[in-house]
Amino acid sequence: VLLAGVGAARAEFPEKPVTLVVPFAAGGPSDKIARDLAEALRKKLNQTVIVENVGGAGGTLGAAKVATASADGYTLLVHHIGFATAPTLYRKLPYKGIDDFAYLGLINEAPSTLIGRTTLPAKSFADLRKWIAADPTKVNLAHAGVGSASHLCGLMLQSALKTELTTVPYKGTGPAMTDLMGGTVDLMCEQATNAVPQIEGDKVRAFAVTSKERMKLPSLASLPTLAESGLPDFGVTVWHGLYAPKNTPAPVLAKLNEALRGALKDPELIKRQEALGITVVSDARVEPAAHKKFVEAEVMRWAKVIQAAGSYAD
Ligand code: MLT
């Protein structure tokens, strides 16, 4: 009777709202992606799905909140490439690392862009390089904390330009974008998710795409990549994945993975993400073992790149 009871209980999952923790402030790309996902998951789970922003320390505080949450499937983490760079960037993580989570599947890949305030004297990336070289320390580069995608991209840019800028951390690139549009900060690497509307609205100046390939969006197809603009090895694309606390029961994980796979086939979600230059991953990658293997490879890849760029956060 007891086993049947347990089985029935799990069969009912989710009996109450599911929370997606976003480890960055509201208004940024992670938040946008999580809200799109929440809407699609709500339909699949037939249950309320809420988004909770837990910013700070480049996403590690939000990740820690989920790592230590009760392993019942009601608290999940939507995170990006920072999940795989934090173990290298932080000597002391507030959680045990990538093995402190159950993997539910990859979500999407978002190109990133190098954008600046519209009042900058530089119009092209070539001009921008000259302007930076004149006095790098006067250049304020915004990011969302050590471990964020914007920080990683900024680190790679400084390493590629062999220069050190003044960096300005925020709890997310949402608030950073406000300052960039206001002209109180100069530059930022920002995922297309958040940058496309501002570039299309002439609220910020786009210098380049930081991913290896140009964006397919007609409005940005003419924007060169940094690889084309004199930094041939430059390539930062931001991927996102969904995680649960490590000991979440297998039947609950299976139900969540099934809901995620269904959500990523939702035409509404696909349309919204593609309109921002985002690519939803193939169904084969929305699979726990493939997701974990991918993250383990990313940890190794970025560890080498970050160590070469020589930056750590204590
Ligand atoms: C955000 O949502 O604020 C961004 O993903 C932060 C970042 O990683 O740059």
Tens place of pLDDT per residue across the chain (314 aa): 555 555 555 568 999 999 999 999 999 999 999 999 999 999 999 999 999 999 999 999 999 999 999 999 999 999 999 999 999 999 999 999 999 999 999 999 999 999 999 999 999 999 999 999 999 999 999 999 999 999 999 999 999 999 999 999 999 999 999 999 999 999 999 999 999 999 999 999 999 999 999 998 999 999 999 999 999 999 999 999 999 999 999 999 999 999 999 999 999 999 999 999 999 999 999 999 999 999 999 999 999 989 888 766 55
Query: Is cis: bond before 14, omega within 30 of 0?
Result: yes
pTM: 0.94
Distance, in Å, from the CA atom of 204 to the CA atom of 120, rounded to the nearest integer, reads 10
- Cα(59) to centroid(ligand 1), Å: 8
174 ligand 1 Cβ < 6 A: yes
Kindly indicate whether the ipTM for this predicted assembly is greater than 0.90, answering yes or no. yes
HEC string of the chain? Answer: CHHHHHHHHHHHCCCCCEEEEECCCCCCHHHHHHHHHHHHHHHHHCCCEEEEECCCHHHHHHHHHHHCCCCCCCEEEEEECHHHHHHHHECCCCCCCHHHEEEEEEEEEECEEEEECCCCCCCCHHHHHHHHHHCHHHCEEEECCCCCHHHHHHHHHHHHHCCCCEEEECCCHHHHHHHHHHCCCCEEEEEHHHHHHHHHCCCCEEEEECCCCCCCCHHHCCCCECCCCCCCCCCCCEEEEEEEECCCCHHHHHHHHHHHHHHCCCHHHHHHHHCCCCEECCHHHCCHHHHHHHHHHHHHHHHHHHHHHCCCEC
Distance, in Å, from the CA atom of 243 to the CA atom of 240, rounded to the nearest integer, reads 10
From 32, 114, 171, 191, mutation site for ligand 1 pocket: most ligand atoms within 8 A of C-beta: 191
- Cα(172) to centroid(ligand 1), Å: 5
Residue type, 5: G
Q: Which atom of ligand 1 sits closest to the CA of residue 150?
A: 9
Residue with tokens 């070289």: 133
189 ligand 1 Cβ < 6 A: no
From 21, 30, 240, mutation site for ligand 1 pocket: most ligand atoms within 8 A of C-beta: 30
149 ligand 1 Cβ < 6 A: yes
Q: Which atom of ligand 1 sits closest to the CA of residue 25?
A: 3
The closest alpha carbon to 261, from 291, 283, 231, 294, belongs to 283
Nearest-CA residue for atom 3 of ligand 1: 172
**Distances in whole angstroms, Cα of residue 262 to Cα of each of 81, 184, 301:** 23, 42, 30
- Cα(69) to centroid(ligand 1), Å: 22
172 ligand 1 Cβ < 6 A: yes
Greatest alpha-carbon span in the chain: 76
